Structure 1
């Protein structure tokens, strides 16, 4: 029944190479802050953490992280691309993409993941979420800002742009916490 909305559950999907997840970037900090605020949050060490293959990560997101219609997926870097491919096939409450791109940037180490070998189904992605937000850095050292703009224009994300120059590789990310909390509390 539509009137009985389940509480949102946040799932954190890291960038490739981030293992163990609890010691990388802002992931554990965000997890703990959300839990302290009463928002359920899941994160686990991802299988195949360095190549982040789609055929391994997407089933893991569904079966091990429990992604479903009440999930908010927070994906960082390769985790953002995993979230985008996931919502081509599955409904979730929403996605918060951090440092997302839409091409392999000409890097074989990114191409091997499998996310970039076919067109993105932007319409299906939009149909499968209630919201899509995006944090992008105009001075990201790894992902040109044009990549973020392309995702924004096609997925119709709420774009939260900055000039950080750090690929969001920090220990704490208060702007992300506040944004995720606001989305988790929306009906």
Structure 2
């Protein structure tokens, strides 16, 4: 079975920004079948209605690596709770599981079945910053790590890419995926 990867952009993003195209190319060069879906409704539509249509767009199996950034990482928590397969790894970059700031976060569920999430990925990796301008910081990474285990990497790199933070490559992430 071929290794695959799904890279999910953050809120207001798209597959062509930040490190997403670079990572997709790196993984494809190593033989991964890479999907980088565009989800314009991510974190604007409630997760309960957004999730079914988003799930229909991706193929997941035991060789899949999921990579999500910011709102895309939060989305992956819901996705992992509601799928019927176990993926190889989930890598959540600048992820969060509770509201990181005062704004609404439709991508978040009111509560999570952490056991179900844990059972649907063989490995987890969380990459967060000490300080993140949106509150997707080390505290959020620690909260997910404490519930799911895996590897927690704390950097001091802001949001790992944003409109005012160019982040065209992400060597650490490439190495973590392997």
What is the TM-score of this pair, normalised by structure 1? 0.82
Change in CA separation of 1:74 and 1:10 when aligned onto 2, cut-off 3 Å: same
2:164 aligned residue = none
Q: Is the 8 A contact 2:69 2:95 kept in 1?
A: yes
- How far residue 97 of structure 1 moved from its aligned partner, in angstroms, is 0.6
- How far residue 52 of structure 1 moved from its aligned partner, in angstroms, is 5.4
Q: Does 1:16 align with 2:8?
A: no
Q: Give the counterpart of 2:30 among 33, 37, 53.
A: 37
1:108 aligned residue = 103
1:94 aligned residue = 89
Change in CA separation of 1:69 and 1:60 when aligned onto 2, cut-off 3 Å: farther
Taking the aligned partners of 1:44 and 1:128, their CA distance within structure 2 comes to 20
1:185 aligned residue = none
- How far residue 128 of structure 1 moved from its aligned partner, in angstroms, is 1.4
Mapping for residues 1-187 of structure 1, pairs under 5 Å: 6-19=1-14, 21-22=15-16, 24-49=17-42, 51=44, 53-90=46-83, 91=85, 92-110=87-105, 113-116=106-109, 118-143=110-135, 144-164=137-157, 166-169=158-161, 170-180=167-177, 182=178
- How far residue 133 of structure 1 moved from its aligned partner, in angstroms, is 0.9
How many residues align? The count is 170
Taking the aligned partners of 2:11 and 2:4, their CA distance within structure 1 comes to 22
Q: Is the 8 A contact 1:16 1:52 kept in 2?
A: no
Structure (1 or 2) with the greater helix fraction: 1
Runs of 5+ consecutive residues of structure 1 not aligned to the other structure: 1-5, 183-187
Taking the aligned partners of 1:160 and 1:153, their CA distance within structure 2 comes to 13
Taking the aligned partners of 1:84 and 1:30, their CA distance within structure 2 comes to 21
Change in CA separation of 1:36 and 1:56 when aligned onto 2, cut-off 3 Å: farther
Runs of 5+ consecutive residues of structure 2 not aligned to the other structure: 162-166
Q: Is the 8 A contact 1:48 1:56 kept in 2?
A: no
Equivalent position SS for 1:28: helix
Taking the aligned partners of 2:45 and 2:38, their CA distance within structure 1 comes to 11
Q: Is the 8 A contact 1:12 1:73 kept in 2?
A: yes
